[in-house]
Amino acid sequence: MMNSPIPTRVVPYGFTVEGLGAHSSRTIMLKELKLLLAACPPDTDTEGYHIAILEDNVLLKRTESTRRKSFRHLRELYGLNRSLLIFRALRSVWDHDAAAQPALALLCAIARDPSLRSTAELILSLPRDAPVTSGMLAQAAESHFPGLSRATTLATIGRNAASSWTQSGHLVGRRSKVRAQAPSHPTSVAYALLLGHLCGAQGEALFRTLWARILDNPVHTLREQAMVASQQGWLEYRRAGDVTDITFHHFLREASYE
């Protein structure tokens, strides 16, 4: 099984380190997540999301069975539970910059979905305009889950991961996909740095974690956006010479750890 960048101690915050995850059957479902969070206020609990999907049909699904499956997959991908720090943090910044939502969704989904996470290093290693196929992503997943999945499951993971990386802006194209540069924004930088912090990184090392690399921009750009995020109150960013100090009082104010 894959070597996870996630220590098991952070599982209570909402990270997932075991199993295949939702990409064995679905993508990051960005459209559905946008519809759900647009329809539900930030303080909605899990049951409220369940009612919104099943009874109010905010996802505009035709059948009850599809609505139930959508709720299950969205909960698997994002938690939909304010007691989970990574979902609560996602929800707190979600409404403030629609352009950042694809990156925010991807970051949370990668934190919670081992199969999608298994394709990240391949995507991040590729130069701009390099061709990417679902078969390449299936092979990346297989290398992290040797002997664990059937060929049909791996093929499904490959197709769904290709769609998810396209939804986030890391890939472009319909039939033939190529690597592109995804945009980053102050809120997605703040969220990525939080995920790195929870996984044990500090200071300047926060800009070199998997989460920061997923933002797909140079470190100097991430620093500039971290400064903007600090000015907006999402985090506290201080840099003097070679010393970088970043804290997260906004995200951690409801928690007893930092």
**For 12-44, what is each residue's pLDDT tens digit?**
999 999 888 999 999 999 999 999 999 999 999
**Alpha-carbon gap, residue 229 to 131, rounded angstroms:** 34
Say which range, 47-56, 106-115, 149-158, has the weakest mean pLDDT. 149-158
Mean predicted lDDT score pLDDT of the chain: 94
Q: Where are the alpha helices (DSSP H) in the chain?
A: 30-39, 46-54, 64-78, 85-94, 101-112, 114-117, 120-125, 134-144, 151-167, 186-198, 210-214, 219-231, 249-252
**Alpha-carbon gap, residue 249 to 226, rounded angstroms:** 14
The tens digit of pLDDT for each residue in 187-213 reads 999 999 999 999 999 999 999 999 999
Fold of 186-252: Arc Repressor Mutant, subunit A (1.10.10)
In the structure, what pLDDT confidence band is assigned to residue 86 with cuts at 50, 70 and 90? very high
Which residue ranges make up each domain of the chain?
8-101, 115-179, 186-252
Assign 247 to helix, strand or coil: strand
Residue 153: alpha-carbon gap to chain centroid:
21
Q: For the chain, how far is it from start to end, CA to CA, in angstroms?
A: 30
Structure tokens at 245: 């100090």
Model pLDDT, residue 151: 84
What is this structure's pTM?
Answer: 0.95
Mean pLDDT in residue range 165-185? 97
207 close to 14: Cβ distance less than 8 angstroms: no
Judged against a pLDDT cut of 60, whether residue 3 lies above it is answered with no
Structure tokens at 58: 């905010």
Model pLDDT, residue 148: 64
Judged against a pLDDT cut of 80, whether residue 83 lies above it is answered with yes
Structure tokens at 172: 């472009």
